[in-house]
Amino acid sequence: MENNGEQTTLERIQQQISENPILLYMKGSPKLPSCGFSAQASQALMSCGEQFAYVDILQNPDIRAELPAYANWPTFPQLWVDGELVGGCDIILEMFQQGELQPLIKETAEKTKAE
């Protein structure tokens, strides 16, 4: 197998997930989401008041194609926290409404700042 310094899509996904403790794979960007689910998910995340990373899967069709199999989660958006898949829009909103998302995001952000 030859590797000319080119990352496979899977390696890129793994790197993004390991380097960004709070990561949202979404359609569009938090400021300009391209679908309602991504809009709601990023809105909930922004309400938590911490910085998070995002990947616009519309700009990255290779990630869009491969992430569902890697994550074992068929749809977008996908929220990853601390290397673990939290879930999609429904789960994100449910956790937010139940007050579970905010402390998770805060603790993760604080842990990252401390390192």
Residue ranges for the binding site for [2Fe-2S] cluster? 35
Binding site for glutathione, residues? 27, 64, 76, 89-90
User: From CA 114, how far away is CA 63, in angstroms rounded?
Assistant: 30
Binding site, residues? 27, 35, 64, 76, 89-90
The distance between the two most distant Cα atoms of the chain, rounded to a whole number of Å, is 49
